[in-house]
Amino acid sequence: MRGPLGRRHLLALLPVLAFLLLGSGFWRMLHGLHNGQFDPHAVMTPQLGKDVPSFPALAGIPLSGTPTVQGAGTGIDTGIDAAALQGQTGPVLVNFMASWCIPCVAEMSQLKAISQVLPVWGIAYKDRVPRVAAFVRRNGQPYARLATDPDGRAAVEWGVTGVPESFLVMPGGQILWHGTSALDEATFRREILPLLMQARKEGRW
Amino acid sequence: MEGIAPQHLRALQPAAWQWFLSPENGHFALALACAFACAQCLLPALGARLREPRLARLGGGLAWSQALCLVMAFLCLGTAAVQDDFSVRSVAENSARAKPLLYKVAGLWGNHEGSLLLWLLVLALCAALLATTARRAQLPLFLQARVLAILGGISAAFGLFCLLTSSPFGRLLPPPADGAGMNPMLQDPGLAFHPPLLYLGYVGLAVPFAFAVAGLMEKRVTPRWGGWMKPWVLASWGFLTCGITLGSWWSYYVLGWGGYWFWDPVENASLIPWLSSTALVHSTIAVEKRDVLKSWSLLLAIASFSFSLAGTFLVRSGILNSVHAFASDPARGVFLLLILGVISGGALALFAWRAPQFPAEPGFPLLTREGALVLNNILLCTLCAIVLVGTLYPPFVQLLFSRTLSVGKPFFDSTTIPVFLLLLLLLGIVCALGWRYTKPASVLRALRLPALLGCLAFPLALIWLAAFPPALCAALAVWVLGATALALLRRWQVNRRAGRAHRSLPASQWAMALAHMGVAVSVLGMCGMSAARHDIVELPVGGSVSFAGRCWKLAAVSPVQGPNYRAERAMLQVSRPTCPTNAGKPFLRLTPERRFFPLQDQTLAQVALHITPLGDLYAVLGPSRLLATRHGKQLVWVLRLHDNPLAVWIWAGGLFMALGAVVALLGRSRRPAVAARGEG
């Protein structure tokens, strides 16, 4: 191939073209970083005050032999999706957890206490179903619903950066509170309870 | 001034050497080095262009001057760090009085500014070494001048970057009483040496890059060109291998999550140039031995260094969303992107222009070592492309569609493992192949026994690992080990029967066997780790639990005071029988710690690790909490216990690979005449 645009010329041009494409993409990203339009760390932005994000519907985790929480209504293994959260008549605490996470163990007793006054919906982040089931069997079962997010897609939509993280979701789907560490009694009394009281006073549920 | 005696004033005056190594002098040395780099970029290139030997010879002297200036600058920064001079901004932000001396030194490259200075220093030392060894390697003067000029250009670009956007010598007024300290996670001997090793690899790749560009400029790529480039390719690949191995080992035993590779974008940024430089090592061998795969080698040399530059850019510009903390700054990103555009874009454009003008290479049958090298290159480049796509997909999707997403282990596992299996298959076959022509029957005969070994290993691995892909990987690793060992044995026997004077095998044989067996050993380690078990337990002091066929007893938890942290140290006694019998004597004591660093208000786990060839026991201490029981409240400790079969093989394999590079390098230097043979 001796011509001006032979096969070898075209092949040799490919790397340059790929480089130009990538380079212009990087250039636009830098531009966006500069004026705030592009933020790869956007998953870390707080979700406060926003509606629950649209996330893929999550399959429930069947828990054989564990008693369901009182007043849970539908079964624990119904699964979780955005519509189900928006359709609730009362506030819900959404709790991202994993069986391999040490602080998740630590917050279980508080979650059990919370589940007496507020339904807790658990989402198992990047975990295997049998492990989650064993975890709940071992540490107690505070969840009204428990679903699995095997590849962490839902967690990304929610802006979760690690486990455990919890969100207080109001009826209609507004996120009122977001906590990024293990829940304890002080946090619940100081941060979540006043919000619930306030919302009650405003007649939101 | 009354009250201050003259001797006190004298004490305030710096000693002569302290003045000499002041940050201002360091800054000046850096600027001077940058000027030398500019001269190194221009003068030898001009000399090569005008065919003027006197100008061309200037390159070596300029490279040495530049290297000395950078050594001086580095010493100045080191002095400031060791003496706790918190009026220097980069020291104040990354050091503290209470930091151990090792980490005051290692802290020099634990931040953006200092690591950039190290980058420059390594590059300048490479250029100086190249100039010094050029005569012995019989490198033609004008080729040497061109290579040094290109290295000088890279140095000049990064020197300007360092001076204009991120000088490590900036002062801070008023100086703080104590520094902000270093991220405690980085205070570990493994991580202290991880960046320099990686940089030696990354920066070393600049030399093959320079050879490739110089070859394109001269329109001449010969087997000797491959021979000149090969030691640099081997050395930087070896350092890169060591650096990645050490980094992975660090994440295994410091981070406390018990894994070794996270497919984090920053980790991938080092894996991509490693994959492409692995391909480069192989295609350089093909160029040197058989005068084939020249365009590939040129492209791979350019790509490897471009990937290492792109990694630097991605990590420091803030484009990648990674768990690794790097100070990111879009302004720096713009500068780096410009450098990347000029250096890599320029080289690729030159490649697009010149490579098609090279004469076409003779073909060769597939069933030869050349054919295997081509296949190997294709597979490694495919892996490289997969990792690149997986790493860049999230930012590009966000740019184009404004959607955030993460690409993680599931994607990489499902895409890389099939390619990797093919690569392992090829690694076994290549042992039976010779250059130029191989009889198919002899290949079959040579591979019978390894294939049998692999087939025997598969059901065993399947029983042990209880999962299909890891078992297949393990069987293929056994096949590679068997084929490599048998090939070595056969070569040795042939040599003995022939009664040759050199009964020992050539170093290149040993090097290849070591590196390929290293891959197999690492793969076996990864397969073992796929069967790893872990459990989270809560134990009161005195309590015990059965896990992984052993009884783990929490004997005590005691407070410990470290140099810059407080800690709680647990004493775990591990005994063989499971717990109810509990008769066995503890054969092992593990002491995991939970360290609190007050300066950074950070708590870190210090993993307790018991390493044996067959597997690691690994314990992490978590927080304590009060548990309500029938007998009142009880304090329990959260512990995470791991049983990691064959874990240490992963890193042992990495060391074998690097050792292969060392053997290849040493074998060359003993016989310099080999490089000189057979080319006009």
Rounded Cα gap, residues B313 and B399, in angstroms: 17
Return the number of CB contacts < 8 Å for A and B.
112
Is-contact A159 A44, C-beta < 8 A? yes
B580 three-state secondary structure: coil
Rounded Cα gap, residues B225 and B217, in angstroms: 13
> Which pLDDT belongs to residue B672?
43
Rounded Cα gap, residues B38 and B489, in angstroms: 53
| Element of type H or E holding B234 | helix B223-253
Close Cβ partners of B677 (under 8 Å, ≥ 6 residues apart):
none
- Chain B residues within an 8 Å CB radius of A32: 399
Does B314 have pLDDT greater than 70? yes
Close Cβ partners of B443 (under 8 Å, ≥ 6 residues apart):
B367, B429, B432, B433
Rounded Cα gap, residues B102 and B39, in angstroms: 36
Does B408 have pLDDT greater than 90? no
Report CB contact under 8 Å: B398, A13. Answer: no
Asked if A34 is an interface residue toward chain B (Cβ–Cβ < 8 A), one would say: yes
Q: pLDDT grade, residue B14 (50/70/90)?
A: confident
Q: Provide mean pLDDT across the span B89-103.
A: 87
Report CB contact under 8 Å: B352, A15. Answer: yes
Q: pLDDT grade, residue B583 (50/70/90)?
A: low
> Which pLDDT belongs to residue B9?
58
- The share of chain A scoring above pLDDT 70, in percent, equals 88
Is-contact B216 B664, C-beta < 8 A? no
Buried b (16+ CB within 10 A) or exposed e, B381-416: bbbbbbbbebbbebbbebbeeeebebbbeebbeebb
Asked if A134 is an interface residue toward chain B (Cβ–Cβ < 8 A), one would say: no
Q: Strand (E) positions, B208-331?
A: none
Identify whether B189 is preceded by a cis peptide bond (ω within 30 of 0): no
Q: In 3D, which of B540, B544, B608, B529 has the Cα closest to residue B576?
A: B544
Asked if A109 is an interface residue toward chain B (Cβ–Cβ < 8 A), one would say: yes
Report CB contact under 8 Å: A16, B352. Answer: yes
Is-contact B394 B406, C-beta < 8 A? yes
Is-contact B154 B202, C-beta < 8 A? no
Q: In 3D, which of B281, B237, B510, B473 has the Cα closest to residue B373?
A: B281
- Chain B residues within an 8 Å CB radius of A162: none
Q: Provide mean pLDDT across the span B233-261.
A: 90
- DSSP-derived letter for residue A54 is P
Dump pLDDT digits (tens) for B513-534: 999 999 999 999 999 999 998 8
Asked if A21 is an interface residue toward chain B (Cβ–Cβ < 8 A), one would say: no
pTM given for the model: 0.86
Two tokens at B529? 């780790």
Rounded Cα gap, residues B246 and B261, in angstroms: 12
Task: Enumerate the β-bridge partners of residue A121.
Answer: A94, A145
Dump pLDDT digits (tens) for B634-647: 888 989 999 999 99
Identity of the amino acid at B535: D
Distance from CA of A35 to the nearest CA of B (A): 10
Residue B655 C-alpha from the chain's centroid: 11
Report CB contact under 8 Å: A16, B337. Answer: no
Asked if A42 is an interface residue toward chain B (Cβ–Cβ < 8 A), one would say: yes
Report CB contact under 8 Å: A8, B623. Answer: no
Of B321, B330, B638, which is closest to A30 when you measure between CB atoms?
Answer: B330
Output phi, psi for A3, to 5 deg.
Answer: -65, 170
Report CB contact under 8 Å: B334, A156. Answer: no
Is-contact A48 A167, C-beta < 8 A? no
> Which pLDDT belongs to residue A7?
82
Rounded Cα gap, residues A23 and B305, in angstroms: 16
Q: Which residue has the higher pLDDT, B517 or B562?
A: B517
Q: In 3D, which of B66, B83, B206 has the Cα closest to residue B147?
A: B206
Report CB contact under 8 Å: A43, B622. Answer: no
- Chain A residues within an 8 Å CB radius of B395: 25, 29, 40
Identity of the amino acid at B190: G
Dump pLDDT digits (tens) for B470-506: 999 999 999 999 999 999 998 888 888 877 655 678 8
> Which pLDDT belongs to residue B8?
60
Asked if A40 is an interface residue toward chain B (Cβ–Cβ < 8 A), one would say: yes
Q: Which residue has the higher pLDDT, B559 or A62?
A: B559
Dump pLDDT digits (tens) for B115-141: 999 999 999 999 999 999 998 889 999
Question: How many CB atoms within 10 Å of residue A193?
Answer: 14
Beta strands A143-149 and A165-169 are: unpaired
Close Cβ partners of B556 (under 8 Å, ≥ 6 residues apart):
B541, B570, B571
- The share of chain B scoring above pLDDT 70, in percent, equals 93
Task: Report the interhelical angle of B112-133 vs B23-50 (nearest 10°).
Answer: 40
Q: In 3D, which of B563, B565, B599, B597 has the Cα closest to residue B177?
A: B599
User: What is the average pLDDT score of chain B?
Assistant: 89
Does B62 have pLDDT greater than 50? yes
Does A4 have pLDDT greater than 60? no
Distance from CA of B656 to the nearest CA of A (A): 33
Q: Which residue of A has its CA nearest to B396?
A: A25
Q: Strand (E) positions, A62-106?
A: 92-97
Asked if B644 is an interface residue toward chain A (Cβ–Cβ < 8 A), one would say: no
Beta strands A120-125 and A92-97 are: parallel
Does B1 have pLDDT greater than 60? no
Does B195 have pLDDT greater than 70? yes
Asked if A151 is an interface residue toward chain B (Cβ–Cβ < 8 A), one would say: yes
> Which pLDDT belongs to residue B416?
94
> Which pLDDT belongs to residue B674?
41
Does B145 have pLDDT greater than 90? yes
Does B677 have pLDDT greater than 60? no
Does B454 have pLDDT greater than 90? yes
Q: Provide mean pLDDT across the span B528-550.
A: 89
From residue A170, alpha-carbon distances to A73, A119, B37, B570 in Å are 17, 12, 63, 43
Q: pLDDT grade, residue B387 (50/70/90)?
A: very high
- The share of chain A scoring above pLDDT 90, in percent, equals 20
> Which pLDDT belongs to residue B501?
58
Of A6, A27, A152, which is closest to B406 when you measure between CB atoms?
Answer: A152
Report CB contact under 8 Å: B345, A22. Answer: no
Q: Provide mean pLDDT across the span B383-397.
A: 92
Asked if A25 is an interface residue toward chain B (Cβ–Cβ < 8 A), one would say: yes
Please identify which residue in the block is written with the tokens 């002569």.
B16
Two tokens at B631? 């007998």
Rounded Cα gap, residues B618 and B259, in angstroms: 11
DSSP H helices in B431-506: 440-465, 468-498
Q: Which residue of A has its CA nearest to B328?
A: A33
Is-contact B145 B80, C-beta < 8 A? no
Q: Which of A161-175, B440-454, B491-505 has the highest mean pLDDT?
A: B440-454
Is-contact A63 A76, C-beta < 8 A? yes
Of B299, B534, B536, which is closest to A15 when you measure between CB atoms?
Answer: B299
Does B676 have pLDDT greater than 90? no
Asked if A56 is an interface residue toward chain B (Cβ–Cβ < 8 A), one would say: no
> Which pLDDT belongs to residue A155?
85
Rounded Cα gap, residues B128 and A130, in angstroms: 59
